[in-house]
Amino acid sequence: TLQAVSAKKGSPFMFGSTYDTYDSNASFMSNVFSTFFNHVVAENGCKWDATEPSRGTSDLTECKAVQSFASSHGASFRGHNTFWHAQTPSWLPGGISASDLVNNVIPQHVQQEIQGMGSSVSSWDVVNEVVGDGVSNGMSALQCVQNKKAWPTQTSDNSNTALVTDLSFIHSAFSTALKYAGSNTRLAINDYNTGAQDAKTACVFAVLADINANAGVPYNRLAVGFQSHVSSTGFASKAALVANFAKLANLGAAALITELDISIPSSSSGNERLQAAIWGDYLDACLYASNCHEFINWDSRDDMSWLGTSNAGTLFDSNGNPKPAAYEVAARLKRY
């Protein structure tokens, strides 16, 4: 089905989920990536703590292991992530100065990871979650980012003295990524609570425009990753997703669904059917957009979800059986 969808879209449609080599349910994971998904992202294996254990020492073992799992299952691979304030290695932030961060630490990490992982990467989350949660409409890109109360926007103790007083740390990451990524690899700014037509999404678009203007990255290399950790009581409408994807398409940028899970209050059939309807709408918004080619679900079964089993936020239940949402996405893919 995914091959038929790709043919219709005129480019590969990448529908996937997360994998780490230490994941449980090995036979389920091998089977689901051979029969249901065709795209893989490392849930943790390509993050800074896993890939640069000490400053300047590159260790891509786990990241490459996930990439080879993808290729051994006929799946493509995307990179998550080269910069995030969380899951940083123990030597960060360690009193690093802003200029050292911008001029040395970031370019070195981004280069060694992107160059080391090679060009068969559909997209990289170059920066993850750099926009604050207390933003408002009309904020500048700088205001949007300085609203983030996390290193490096704030010093490691989150004191008010912002460590970084401009967006050069983002420019450094993206200009380095542009230099070392494969020419077909999209470079994404990835964030949660985006997708609706609200202040946080407006901020992500403002930072995207800043990256284009000040890091010299053309829009046809850029992407916005809409993480989409949502719930049956809080999610972006299909209309909002369609409008936001179209806005990116007009710029030449790509839209990615990067971490979809949909928490439900309980696994009652009513909740599971609502979950399926929302899943279908997110998928349709991507399928029917000219610039959406990657759709990643975050964790593939409830007992493996970062949300915990009780939120029942994934496509397969804790016994590895498909839930209504799995049937819904299969039907929408067939119907496309």
Q: Is 87 in the site for ligand G3I (CB under 6 A)?
A: yes
Per-residue binder mask for ligand G3I (CB under 6 A), 122-141, x = binder: ------x-------------
Closest CA to 316 of 298, 290, 289, 332: 298
Q: Is 72 in the site for ligand G3I (CB under 6 A)?
A: no
Closest CA to 326 of 318, 317, 335: 317
Output phi, psi for 70, to 5 deg: -60, -55
Q: Tell me the β-bridge partners of 15.
A: 295
- Tell me whether residue 85 or residue 332 sits nearer to ligand G3I (CB atom): 85
Helix (H, G, I), strand (E, B) or coil at 118: coil
Residues 6+ apart with CB under 8 A from 330: 1, 36
The nearest distance, CB 47 to ligand G3I, in angstroms, is 7
The nearest distance, CB 1 to ligand G3I, in angstroms, is 27
Residues 6+ apart with CB under 8 A from 192: 129, 227, 228, 229, 259
Question: Beta strands 123-128 and 186-191: pairing type?
Answer: parallel
The nearest distance, CB 259 to ligand G3I, in angstroms, is 5
Q: Which of 51, 154, 176, 227 binds ligand G3I (CB under 6 A)?
A: 227
Residue 215, both tokens: 């890091």
Residue 62, both tokens: 């786990």
Q: Which of 210, 259, 272, 294 binds ligand G3I (CB under 6 A)?
A: 259
Q: Is 44 in the site for ligand G3I (CB under 6 A)?
A: yes
The nearest distance, CB 190 to ligand G3I, in angstroms, is 7
Task: Determine the size of the site formed for ligand G3I (CB under 6 A).
Answer: 9
Q: Which residue has the tokens 């690899």?
A: 185
- Tell me whether residue 53 or residue 270 sits nearer to ligand G3I (CB atom): 53
Q: Which of 28, 288, 306, 327 binds ligand G3I (CB under 6 A)?
A: 306
Contact 173, 82 (CB under 8 A): yes
Per-residue binder mask for ligand G3I (CB under 6 A), 136-175, x = binder: ----------------------------------------
Question: What is the torsional sign of CA 304, 309, 311, 317?
Answer: positive
Residues that bind ligand G3I (CB under 6 A): 43-44, 86-87, 128, 192, 227, 259, 306
